[in-house]
Amino acid sequence: MILEVAILNVRSPMESEFEAAFTKASAIIASIRGYISHELHRCIEVPNRYLLLVRWQTLEDHTTGFRRSPEYDQWKQLLHHFYDPFPTVEHFEGVLQYQDNSTQNAEPRVKNLQ
């Protein structure tokens, strides 16, 4: 699994419009082969900054499958005018996953992802 990470700085005061457009755009990205899931988080300290996390089966599913698809053109039309500056997108692979199970009176779970 590959994790795509992007910090999205949205032009103020367009945050509500962006969130509505992103809701529509979610169906577009979810339709792409190799897509697993995505999350959008708003920054507490900087309200017009968002963190986008997208999980893909492979790097190529994002860089080739999505970015070279007609659906990406729809995605761009819905979202790209909100960004200032345009975001840098990076891709990560898992190394370790730790889950604290103390609230369930169980031992922590550590999973090596490589």
Domains and CATH numbers, the chain: 2-112 (3.30.70.100)
CA nearest to 53, candidates 108, 94, 81: 94
Residue range 36-91, pLDDT digits in tens: 999 999 999 999 999 999 999 999 999 999 999 999 999 999 999 999 999 999 99
Residue with tokens 């697993």: 36
CA nearest to 58, candidates 96, 21, 83, 32: 32
* Entry pTM: 0.88
